[in-house]
Structure 1
Amino acid sequence: MQGTVGQLILEPVFVMTEGQSTKPFSRFEWMIAWRYLRARREEGGVSVMTWISLIGITLAVAALIITLSVRTGFRTEFVDTILGANAHATVYSSVYVDENGGTNRSIADYDGWAEKLLTVPDVVRAAPLVRGQVMASYSGSNAGIEVYGIAQNDLMTIPRVAQRPDESWGDVARFNEGIAIGSGVARELGVVVGDSIKLISPDGAKTAFGTSPRVSAFEVVYIFTAGRYDIDKTRAYLPFSEAQRYFNSEGAADEIEVMLAHPDTVDEISYELMQAVGDTGLVWTWKQSAGSFLSALDMEDNVMFVILSVLVLIAAMNIVSGLIMLVKNKGRDIGILRTIGLTEGSVLRVFFICGAVTGVLGTALGVMIGSLFALNIDSVMAFVNYLNGGGAWDPSVRGIYALPAELRFIDVFKAVSLSLGLSFVVTIFPARRAARMNPVEALRYE
């Protein structure tokens, strides 16, 4: 007897008596599966299909891990820039009629409101703000910016503005002596620390001839990079008292910026924030301002996972093709193995091992490639930028400056579970076909 079976029947370990049973996945089942996986030259088609299946699963799993890592990293970076440079909740005043008979929504008792808000559990800071939109000018260059009037102690608690020494220039301790601007504003105006810029507001001093524009010059004492393109390009900070004078808001604030120890709980305590300041208070949370975008990210994550899952399924179906070819080529061997005593279960497990090994190896290689790609995303993007001549990532469109990737265990676990699950399931069908093959029919023409 030549070939695989001829070699197998010479070994006593494979000879079985009637009624004898073996443990599932015994040593001889692994040996037979391993011999089948090493196809001979004349059975090259089986070997080629095995390699195609292996490569397909590897690439599909790697693509799934890379996509999940990039999407997770993008969401984490986006949320971090929101929470690190913006209020977790903003408390406003509802519109009321002031003593002059006009409508107003400024907060006169801003210190009292801030003290009341600090009594709410989980609130770590309540900072009065004055806000306004102006035009900044320097040496013929102009830029529209949004000015935040804030106390220096409160500014120092904003992580992505005052707590990034590697991404900032100047001395934030000199904040009360001038103005702090985003790096995008500085780049558009062409200014550096020490230059003086002019702020031009249409709502300036009120005279007998009407309201004249207000023009004031401020020294740039600090330039920050918050990590968000839209923030760095439009935001500036003035000392609170200076902003009150500039925007004609003496003795009042426009809003109270609230920071929480656990920003994710903002929806649960928003009602408590409103109760703390009374019936005239209104609350706007970071989830409300960015909720639609975050919902779009969640939906996109689910869609991408489904699409890439289909790719994994297609790659796993190649295992079926390879096993069907293997079963067809090994019909005589199956008949002889059944004749010498192998049960249907043993034959099923042999061919199940053949397919499962391909799935496991492909999954393992895919995890390695995908993880290495995600961990070295900066180098990969640098290479892509080099090939494209730069501009592969546009921060004005994406919002953040670089493509982030965050490799999480749960993402790798989902990719591995999906790949192994599909590989094992699709392997069962051709394996059952081999197990149910009639040995008489298999050997009829041998």
Structure 2
Amino acid sequence: MILRWERMIAARYLRPGEGERFIFLVAGVSLLAVALGVAALIAVMSVMNGFRAELFDRIQGLNGHAVAQGFGGRLEDWRGVAARATALPGVVSATPLIEAPLMASFGTRVEGALVRGMTMADIARTPVIADNVKAGSLKALAEPDTVAVGAQLAQSLGVQVGDSLSLISPAGEVTPFGTVPRIVSYRVGAIFEVGIFDYDKAFVLMAMPTAQTLFNLGDAVGMVEIKTEDADRVASILAPLGRELLGKGVLTDWRQMNSALFEALVVERTVMFWVLSIIILVAVFNILSSLIMLVRAKTRDIAILRTMGAGRAALMRVFMTVGTLIGVAGVALGLVLGFTVLAFRQGIVSGFSRLTGTELWDPSIRYLTELPSKTDPGEVVGIVLLAVGLSFLATIYPAWKAASTDPVSVLRYE
């Protein structure tokens, strides 16, 4: 418990006295360094969390938590697989899909395309597609030979709603002169943007009957996409289905499909946290230095307080309060700076891009078209406790030195 007179002296030592402006300057630099460290940690960790969450939501919005694929790209008993999947506890939905890479061409331009066939009901129930239509209407896919394309693919090819797009399949017809690629033309009925560059630059969406005709699958599909209540428990939830698929197909969950990407995000997030924590550690050393200088400057005051009856513990509390208050003020300022940066993050990135003349957030590299953010309250509390805790630890040695001052030696020649 800090006594009233101890708080009064601590508050007095926080203000610069005569000849102590350099100490005050060092303390101010320490406060700003703590603030910058806290702000950087909050901003970076929130962006990393947002990037992972946004990427996960958009990828799972298109690919589900797992897919049951048939051998050779054909799943004949897909209705039975879907029924057995939906009967499992924890499974939300099972959606039949046809998906294969082809080539898309318009005029003289040719781009790689990922063709996906879905039922009209499933297309309408997929928010990441249905809620992000930029032109046209997905209802047009019910018409024969009509497709929807990703926004980046449409831009690369130069197609618009109503244009005729050609899909080229290398698995064409066999002739005496070899295999002739199959080329089928489709009308563009809609253009959509899911927000993941790799999907927007390749996706071609069509109704299930149209896809079955294109790939000569008859009534079969390529896979069944499965969504569960808990993505982290997908392996245990779908374990019975995996055993039933042995010999007929293979079950792949989201960890296997995107393992390299999400593991890289975890490693990068951990490394960034510890690297940015060094900023706070450097600031803590500044607090240590300023307190040591303050103790040296206040040696005579400390000796007088000792002769007036102040105990060693009281003097330790005074200087520990001074250092901790500097750290707490820096943390408070860092919280304000961190959340301000997050609030205006997209404008800051755009401003730096215009200032430097370079694209700082290139969707072709970053996967997402905008800089995301998701603040974890638990992480914020952890960062605050880390900064305040290190600031408190930095006060122990200077406070101990102050408490160890011998008043007789100091005042002998006064």
What interval of TM-score do these two structures reach, taking the shorter chain for normalisation? over 0.9
Aligned to 1:87: 64
Distance 1:263 1:158, change over 3 A: farther
Asked whether the 8 Å contact 2:85–2:238 carries over to 1, the reply is: no
Aligned to 2:41: 64
Asked whether the 8 Å contact 2:73–2:223 carries over to 1, the reply is: no
Asked whether the 8 Å contact 1:344–1:436 carries over to 2, the reply is: yes
Aligned to 1:78: 55
Distance in 2, matches of 1:117 and 1:206, equals 38
Q: Secondary structure at the match of 2:221?
A: coil
Residue identity in the other structure for 2:292: I
Match of 1:258 among 223, 226, 229: 226
Aligned to 1:192: 160
Distance in 2, matches of 1:105 and 1:131, equals 9
Aligned to 2:139: 173
Distance in 2, matches of 1:263 and 1:341, equals 64
Aligned to 2:365: 397
The percent of aligned pairs where both chains have the same amino acid is 38
Distance in 2, matches of 1:192 and 1:41, equals 74
Distance in 1, matches of 2:319 and 2:81, equals 73
Aligned to 1:357: 325
Match of 2:18 among 30, 41, 52: 41
Distance in 2, matches of 1:132 and 1:93, equals 13
Q: Secondary structure at the match of 1:39?
A: coil
Matched, 1:284 2:252: yes
More moved, 264-273 vs 321-330: 264-273
Distance in 1, matches of 2:96 and 2:340, equals 46
Query: How big is the shift at 1:125?
Result: 2.3
Distance in 2, matches of 1:140 and 1:186, equals 14
Distance in 1, matches of 2:77 and 2:47, equals 46
More moved, 370-379 vs 131-140: 131-140
Asked whether the 8 Å contact 2:153–2:200 carries over to 1, the reply is: yes
Q: Secondary structure at the match of 2:220?
A: coil
Residue identity in the other structure for 1:382: S
Aligned to 2:402: 434
Matched, 1:413 2:381: yes
More moved, 129-138 vs 24-33: 129-138
Distance in 2, matches of 1:362 and 1:381, equals 25
RMSD: 1.7
Asked whether the 8 Å contact 2:75–2:220 carries over to 1, the reply is: yes
Query: How big is the shift at 1:364?
Result: 0.5
Match of 1:245 among 198, 206, 213: 213
More moved, 435-444 vs 200-209: 200-209
Matched, 1:268 2:236: yes
Mapping of residues 17-32 of structure 1, within 5 Å? 24-32=1-9
Query: How big is the shift at 1:224?
Result: 1.1
Aligned to 2:169: 201
Structure 1: gaps (5+ residues)? 1-23, 95-103
TM-score normalised by structure 1 residue count = 0.88
TM-score normalised by structure 2 residue count = 0.95
Distance 1:73 1:300, change over 3 A: same
Match of 1:297 among 248, 265, 270: 265
May I ask how many residue pairs the two structures share in their alignment? Answer: 412
Aligned to 1:17: none
Aligned to 1:318: 286
Distance in 2, matches of 1:415 and 1:392, equals 27
Asked whether the 8 Å contact 2:245–2:251 carries over to 1, the reply is: no
Mapping of residues 362-381 of structure 1, within 5 Å? 362-381=330-349
Deviations 1:85-104 (A, max 9, x none): 2232110234xxxxxxxxx4
Q: Secondary structure at the match of 1:204?
A: strand
